[in-house]
Amino acid sequence: MYSHDIATLTSWLDEARSAVFFGGAGVSTASGIPDFRSAAGLYASQGPGGRPPEYLLSHDCLVDEPAEFFAFHRANLVHPEAKPNPAHTGLAELEAQGRLAAVVTQNIDGLHQLAGSRVVYELHGSVERYHCLGRDRHQFTLAQIPDEPVVPNCPRCGAMVRPDVVLYGEALDAEVVDAAVAAVRRADLLLIGGTSLNVYPAAGLLHYYRGDRLALVNLSETPMDYQADLVIHAPIDEVLAEVCKRLFG
DSSP per-residue codes, 10-48? HHHHHH-SSEEEEE-GGGTGGGT---SSSTTSGGGS--G
Radius of gyration of the chain from Cα atoms? Answer: 19
* CA atoms of 21 and 117, how far apart (whole Å): 11
**pLDDT surpasses 50 at 174:** yes
Q: What is the pLDDT of residues 25-83, one digit of tens each?
A: 999 999 999 986 554 556 556 566 778 999 999 999 999 999 999 999 999 999 999 99
186-244 pLDDT, tens digit per residue, is 999 999 999 999 888 878 999 999 999 999 999 999 999 999 999 999 999 999 999 99
> Which residues have a Cβ under 8 Å from the Cβ of 65 and sit 6 or more positions away?
none
Q: Which residues are catalytic?
A: 124
Domains of the chain in sequence order: 3-32+83-124+171-248 (3.40.50.1220), 42-76 (no CATH)
Q: Minimal CA–CA distance to 191: which of 22, 29, 28?
A: 22
Number of H helices, E strands in the chain: 8, 9
Let me know: does 235 contact 28? Beta carbons within 8 Å: no
Q: What percent of the chain has pLDDT over 90?
A: 88
